[in-house]
C-alpha cells in the first residue's frame, strides 16, 4: 500500500472536513462514541468537525494529570486536545502523523484551542521520532490498521513507553460475525478496510512486542465496510 493514497485521502479530510467520505466524522461522531460533554464544551466546535474517531480510547483506562501522552496517527488533533485537557498544564502531549496537511491542521487546532502543551511531528508511526521510555501513555484512533507493518508500530510504541506505560487504542478490525463480507467487498486500504486484522491477531502482535494485560475492551457501531467494525484495546509495558 503506498503512503501516497493515504496522504491523498487524509489531505482531503484535512481540507474538507464536511465532505462525505463514506464513514462517520464530526461532532456527532464524537458524541456517538461517548466523548464527554465537558470535553465538547471545552474544545472549540470548529475542531470537532474533523473528528474521524473509530472508537473512544479514553474509555479504556485512566488518564492522570501531569503525564505525557502520545497520539499516533493524530489526524487533525481532536484526541490531542482531549489528552491535553486530561494531562493538564503540567502534562505534555505529542502527536505524530504522516500527512503534512493533517500535521498543519492539528497544530492550527491546538493553537485555536489555546493548548500550548501539544507538539506535533510529521512522521510515520512505524518509526517514531521520540527517544526511548519517554511517554506514560500512548493512544491511537483509526490509524494502526493503515500501517503496512503493525509489528513495527507496536515495537516502536513499546520502545517509547516508560516502564509500566499504557497503550489504549481504537481501530477498525475484521468483523468475524460477518466473514462472507470481505470476500466480495471492494477493499480499500486508505479507507481503513484492507489493512484491518482480526482482534486475536492484534492481541498476538501486541504480546509478541512484549506487552502484557492485552485485551479488547469493547467493540462498537463504527463501520468502514460490511467486513469491519470499530474496537478498542488496552495493553501495558512491563
Ligand X SMILES: C[S@@+](CC[C@H](N)C(=O)[O-])C[C@H]1O[C@@H](n2cnc3c(N)ncnc32)[C@H](O)[C@@H]1O
Which residues of this chain interact with ligand X, rule CB under 6 A?
6, 10, 51-53, 73-75, 78-79, 96-99, 102, 124-126, 141-143, 146-147, 192
Residue 183: strand, helix, or coil:
helix
In the complex, minimum distance from the CB of residue 101 to ligand X, in angstroms, rounded to a whole number: 9
H/E stretch holding 10: helix 3-15
C-beta nearest to ligand X: residue:
75
Residues 6 or more apart whose Cβ sits within 8 Å of residue 58: 35, 79, 82, 86, 139, 168
Q: How far is the CB of 78 from ligand X (least distance, A)?
A: 5
User: Which is closer to ligand X, CB of 151 or CB of 213?
Assistant: 151
Considering the complex, state which of residue 85 and residue 96 has its C-beta at the smaller distance from ligand X: 96
Q: At what angle do helices 3-15 and 100-112 cross, to 10 degrees?
A: 30
Provide the minimum distance between the beta carbon of 113 and ligand X in the complex, in angstroms, as a whole number.
14
For 14, half-sphere exposure in the C-beta direction (CA atoms, 13 angstrom radius) is 24
What does the H/E/C string look like for 17-44? CCCCCCCCCHHHHHHHCCCCHHHHHHCC
By C-alpha distance, which of 128, 126, 114 is closest to 70? 128
CB of 76 to ligand X, least distance (A): 6
CA dihedral 138, 98, 32, 28 (to 10 degrees): 140
Cα 76 to Cα 50: distance, rounded to the nearest angstrom = 6
Helix (H, G, I), strand (E, B) or coil at 83: helix
- Report the run of H or E that residue 9 belongs to, with start and end: helix 3-15
Amino acid at each position: 500500500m503506498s503512503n501516497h493514497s493515504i496522504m491523498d485521502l487524509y489531505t482531503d479530510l484535512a481540507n474538507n472536513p464536511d465532505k462525505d467520505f463514506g464513514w462517520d466524522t464530526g461532532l456527532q461522531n464524537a458524541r456517538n462514541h461517548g466523548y464527554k460533554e465537558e470535553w465538547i464544551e471545552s474544545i472549540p466546535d470548529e475542531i470537532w468537525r474533523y473528528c474521524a474517531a473509530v472508537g473512544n480510547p479514553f474509555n479504556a483506562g485512566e488518564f492522570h494529570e501531569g503525564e505525557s501522552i502520545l497520539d499516533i496517527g493524530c489526524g487533525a488533533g481532536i484526541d490531542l486536545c482531549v489528552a491535553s485537557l486530561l494531562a493538564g498544564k503540567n502534562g505534555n502531549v505529542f502527536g505524530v502523523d504522516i500527512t503534512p496537511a493533517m500535521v498543519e491542521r492539528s497544530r492550527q487546532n491546538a493553537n485555536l484551542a489555546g493548548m500550548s502543551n501539544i507538539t506535533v511531528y510529521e512522521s510515520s508511526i512505524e518509526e517514531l521520532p521520540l527517544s526511548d521510555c519517554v511517554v506514560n501513555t500512548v493512544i491511537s484512533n483509526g490509524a494502526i490498521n493503515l500501517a503496512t507493518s503493525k509489528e513495527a508500530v507496536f515495537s516502536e510504541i513499546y520502545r517509547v513507553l516508560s516502564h509500566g506505560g499504557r497503550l489504549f487504542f481504537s481501530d477498525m478490525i475484521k468483523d468475524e460475525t460477518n466473514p462472507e463480507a470481505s470476500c466480495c467487498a471492494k477493499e480499500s486500504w486508505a479507507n481503513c478496510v484492507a489493512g484491518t486484522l482480526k482482534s486475536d491477531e492484534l492481541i498476538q502482535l501486541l504480546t509478541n512486542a512484549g506487552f502484557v494485560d492485552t485485551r479488547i475492551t469493547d467493540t462498537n457501531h463504527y463501520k468502514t465496510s460490511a467486513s469491519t467494525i470499530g474496537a478498542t484495546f488496552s495493553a501495558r509495558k512491563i
